[in-house]
Amino acid sequence: MTHNVLVVDDEPKLCDLLASALSQNGVTVFTAGNGLHALKVLEAEDIDLVISDWRMPGMDGPQLLAEIKSRFPQLPVIVMTAYSTVKNAVQSMRNGAFDYIAKPFDIDELDITVSKALQFRDILKDNQRMRAELDEHQQIDSLIGDSPTFRRVLQAIDSVRDSNATILLTGESGTGKEMVARAIHKHGNRADKPFVAVNCAAIPEGLLESEMFGHRKGAFTGAVADRVGRFMQADEGTLFLDEIGEMPLALQAKILRALQERVIEPVGDPRERKVDVRVIAATNKNLLDAVANKEFREDLYYRLNVFPIPLPALRERTEDIAPLARHFAHTLGAAAGKRFTGFSAEALQAMASYSWPGNIRELQNCVERATIVASGAVIEEQDLPAYLFASNPGSSGAPIIEGNVPADLDAALAEVEKAYILAALAQSNGVQAAAAQLIGISERSFWYRLKKLGIHVDKIVR
């Protein structure tokens, strides 16, 4: 296995010496003259180990170590210093350094220390890979449901899984498009090859071409080494292009060429590279409307729409809410060290009556909260979040009690307002601008209400 090592020292000769020594063991060495430069390299490259000087101008070794532990907590760091004291060594180890070496150092001693650090890094990567595989299995297992609308999705997956045809998954946000894409890959003829997912909306437009096709060293400012793009990473496997409707028009033509001719051209490299990739694209937008509005290429739309699979909203498959909720309670409860036997009839009725604008993702977030607050083995109605009852005044969990005048009107209205804001946040996956748009107010007004109602918004993932 090839490893990438970053050497950080303000003495160029020492960097060259270490690069020469480590390269003989098959290690690719990057160098940086200071801590700030080192952080830029770490953001651009997949580094397995950092060897850093203790004393440097500007950002010194301890400061760099603290930044690395904050941004890249599983990246091992070896500290080297000519001021080797027990105090410095102990302090660096306490702050998260893997080990330290003293200047002047013996090359054999350096090789042993580096070898141990890279073995440690390999173990961490193996653990991450196994956890990712476990997460993937759990995601595939989440394709649960026996409603007629969802059975049609399962039949489509079975029909197309061994095909190389391009697939277009459509549906509202949170309907499980990535889970379906992973299921197609996992149960298809490319299952033993890579599955690479790209969120086209999450990558800055200026970096998207490089991210997709790769680049050559020096192709643009910051391109300090060759980079393999996502198409090459997915070679012989599956490339999942999520939020394809957000892709800039300028890049759509190059994606079309890659799909039609199965060749790519890295940025800064005129040579074409052949790729064998099965592409699955997904969007929550109406691409035909986008074509009509000149926001999406018509030829690319038809190239993507070879085998369309529309995913139903959760409100269109209410029969599947209970089995999905039980599945999430079981897996999320097990992860938290709890065991749940199910939901009360009232809780199931409350979930069945809710419209789930955020679909499966919102249901999962709802059940996760319930598993945290539930005190028994059965999840009760009161364990569910309040926003489920905002549109059901007759339910016992509703913020307004039908037929009674509230003793404190301001407090009652605040509860209603809070319930709708929480529902909008759940539907928008925690994105405040999108939540504000959902309920028809400005971002500034939304922020004011969050502060007034004491709502703290954490970063919600997926």
- Is the pLDDT at 234 greater than 80, yes or no? yes
Rounded CA separation 245/286 (Å): 8
Least confident of 294-303, 375-384, 409-418: 409-418
Evaluated on CA atoms 211, 213, 214, 217, the torsion sign reads negative
pTM over 0.85: no
Rounded CA separation 76/50 (Å): 7
Evaluated on CA atoms 375, 379, 382, 387, the torsion sign reads positive
**Consecutive H or E run containing 264:** strand 263-264
Q: Maximum CA pair distance of the chain?
A: 84
Q: What is the pLDDT of residue 399?
A: 40
Q: What is the pLDDT of residue 203?
A: 82
Helix spans in 161-196 (H): 177-186
Please enumerate in sequence order all residues whose Cβ is within 8 A of that of 360, keeping only pairs 6 or more positions apart, or say none.
Answer: 142, 174, 175, 176, 179, 314, 324
- Chain CA centroid to CA 217, Å: 27
- Is the pLDDT at 223 greater than 70, yes or no? no
Q: What is the pLDDT of residue 394?
A: 37
Q: What is the pLDDT of residue 405?
A: 55
Task: Express each pLDDT in 208-220 by its tens digit.
Answer: 888 888 877 766 6
Rounded CA separation 97/50 (Å): 10
- Is the pLDDT at 195 greater than 70, yes or no? yes
The pLDDT confidence band at residue 128, using thresholds 50, 70 and 90, is low
Evaluated on CA atoms 285, 287, 289, 295, the torsion sign reads positive
Rounded CA separation 99/80 (Å): 9
Task: Express each pLDDT in 422-457 by its tens digit.
Answer: 888 877 777 787 787 777 676 777 877 887 788 877
Is the preceding peptide bond at 62 cis, omega within 30 degrees of 0?
Answer: no
Cβ neighbourhood burial of 144 (10 Å; 0-12, 13-18, 19+): middle
- Is the pLDDT at 190 greater than 90, yes or no? yes
> Within 10 Å of residue 93's Cβ, how many Cβ atoms?
13
Please enumerate in sequence order all residues whose Cβ is within 8 A of that of 408, keeping only pairs 6 or more positions apart, or say none.
Answer: none
Task: Express each pLDDT in 309-341 by its tens digit.
Answer: 999 999 999 999 999 999 999 988 888 788 898
Domains of the chain: 4-127 (3.40.50.2300), 142-312 (3.40.50.300), 316-453 (1.10.8.60)
Least confident of 29-33, 68-72, 295-299, 377-381: 68-72
Rounded CA separation 151/166 (Å): 21
Rounded CA separation 244/183 (Å): 19
Angle at 281 between CA 433 and CA 207, to 5 degrees: 60
- Is the pLDDT at 22 greater than 80, yes or no? yes
260 and 251 Cβ atoms separated by less than 8 Å:
no
- Is the pLDDT at 133 greater than 50, yes or no? yes
Task: Express each pLDDT in 259-315 by its tens digit.
Answer: 999 998 888 777 888 999 999 999 999 999 999 999 999 999 999 999 999 999 999
457 and 450 Cβ atoms separated by less than 8 Å:
yes
**244 against 396, higher pLDDT:** 244
